[in-house]
Structures are given as C-alpha cells and as structure tokens.
Amino acid sequence: MAKVATSAELRVASQRRWSERAIPISIQIGAWVSFVILLLPVAVVVLAGLNSGDYLTFPPEGLSLRWVIAFLTSPAWMGAYGFSMALALVTMVISTVLGTAAAIVLSRYRFRGRDMLRAYFLSPLILPGVVLGLALYVFYVVTDIGLAKSMTGLVIGHVLVTCPYVIGTVSAALVAFDVSLEEAARSLGASPWTAFRRITVPNISAGVAAGATFAFIVSFGQFDVSLFLSTPNLTPLPIALYVSLRYTFEPTAAAAGIFAIILVVVSMLITSRLVSLRKFGGIKFS
C-alpha cells in the first residue's frame, strides 16, 4: 500500500523545491544587477558623446552627432586614435609571442627558481601603473640608452603591462592540455616543431586568443605608463583624453570614448567568433 504524504511532509517538500528554485533566481538577479552597474558608465559616456551642448555634461542637453563629427574630422584626435590602435597591435603581437613562450616554459619545465620567475613575470599586475611608468622613465633617463620618450620605450612599457595577461590565459590552457597527444605525434615521426604547431597550438588556441585580446585592450587603454613615456609626437588616445578633459572639457573626449568602446567590443566579438570556430575545427560549416 502506497504511503500517503502528510501535510507536514508536503510543506517541507514544497519549501525545499522553492529554496532550490530561489538560489538560481537570486543568482540571476545578482548577475543582471552587476551587468547593469558595469554598463552604466558606458551608457553615460555614449550619451555624453552625443550631447548637443558646448560642454561635457550629463544628462545631455540634447542628442546630436556634432561632437562625433568633430572627432572624425579632427587630425589630432584621429591621429591619437590611430596611434593607440597601432601601438596596441604591435604590443599584442609581441606580448602574445613572449607570453606564450614564457607560459610554456613555466608550465612544462621543472627547475630551481621557477616560482620566483613566475612571480617576476606576473609582478606588473601587482605593481601600480604609476610606479611602473615612473620606474621605466627613470631607468631610460639614467641609463641614457635612447629609449626615453621613444616609440620603442613606449612599446616596451606596454609589453611589460600586457604580457602577464597572456601568460595567465595560456598557462590555464596548458593545464587542461594532455601532453600525451604531443608525445604520440612525436612517436609517429613528427618533429618537435611540427608536433607543437599541429597538436599543441590548436589545443591552446583559445587561451592564446584570449591573452591576445586582453593584451590589445589593456594596451589600447593604458594610461599610467603612457603618461610617463609618451611625447607630443607620440600621443596615445588615453593621454589625448586626459589633456582634453583637463584644459577644454569638450564632449569630443566622450565621442572619442564611444569609438574606443566600439573598438573593444568588436575585437572581443571577433576573438570570440574565432575561438568558437577553432574549438570545432573538425566540423565543416556550410
């Protein structure tokens, strides 16, 4: 004979089901609240850049493309935007190569001082950007090696800041990588470089792509190091924004911020698309 549940048991079961449903709902609410808080500054920048008034104010006096057109037709602003993009691309390539190589060495090889070397590579994440920029500037000036206020010195500073992001993402990808796959390729006659290129790189491509994206975004918006190492002829967009807000306070700075946001979003979408395709590299898409 089946046991009939009592009202107390039904109430307990109902409370248990409610608690199980309430936890995901609470997490979803918290996620949406966090999402809105994170997007609020972006919305403020976009609306301020579309302001029809003469000064950078919020809420805007009206909506207009006046300052967007001013940004697009300004040689100074477009020069700073193009310079930041070129600097970020160069930094991304160098950081991706150096960071991937460093991550492979730190993840695969056991040697004395490995943990200290890892901490040394990741130290730019801990040091304040102002301290790192000042240290680099003093080093360039004291050593007099021609890197102060130069493009090369600026690239070195950006690589130091962005390389730890590549090391972190690639190291995480290498942890999930089965080394026996590469060893199997070697046993079948593949050279070390061929095994690395055909086996290892496709399996860690998601981590490499994520690190490259982080390097590009961080370099494009890097302010602290650029403040000490840039010159009037080598002015990244963050420094141009700082100068504009300090002396003119025009909405052109917010309009520039709109295009910076667009560039970051597009780069992340492209990277996400490429990574998803690589994950299903064996599937042909029609």
pLDDT reported for residue 262 = 86
pLDDT reported for residue 32 = 80
Phi first, then psi: what are they for 63, rounded to 5°?
A: -105, 130
d(CA 244, CA 259): 16
pLDDT reported for residue 156 = 92
Q: Which two tokens stand for residue 276?
A: 């998803």
pLDDT reported for residue 21 = 55
Q: Which residues pair with 63 in a beta bridge?
A: 51
pLDDT reported for residue 155 = 92
pLDDT reported for residue 275 = 63
pLDDT reported for residue 7 = 61
pLDDT reported for residue 95 = 94
User: 125-164 in b/e burial notation, b at 16+ Cβ within 10 A?
Assistant: eeeebeebbeebbeebeeeeeebbbebebbbbbbbbbbbb
d(CA 173, CA 167): 10
Chunk the chain into consecutive blocks of 10 residues (it has 286) and report each block's average pLDDT, rounded to whole numbers: 53 59 68 80 80 75 81 88 92 93 85 83 85 88 82 91 90 79 76 78 84 90 88 86 80 84 82 58 37
As to burial, measured by CB atoms within 10 angstroms (0-12 exposed, 13-18 middle, 19+ buried), residue 239 is buried
Phi first, then psi: what are they for 57, rounded to 5°?
A: -135, 160
- What is the DSSP secondary structure assignment for residue 234, as one 8-state letter? B
pLDDT reported for residue 18 = 56
Provide the whole-model pTM.
0.78
Q: How would CATH label the architecture of 75-279?
A: Orthogonal Bundle (1.10)
Instruction: Locate the domains of the chain by residue range.
Output: 75-279
Q: Are 108 and 182 in contact (CB under 8 A)?
A: no
Query: How many other β-carbons are positioned within 10 Å of the β-carbon of residue 84?
Result: 24
d(CA 5, CA 136): 74
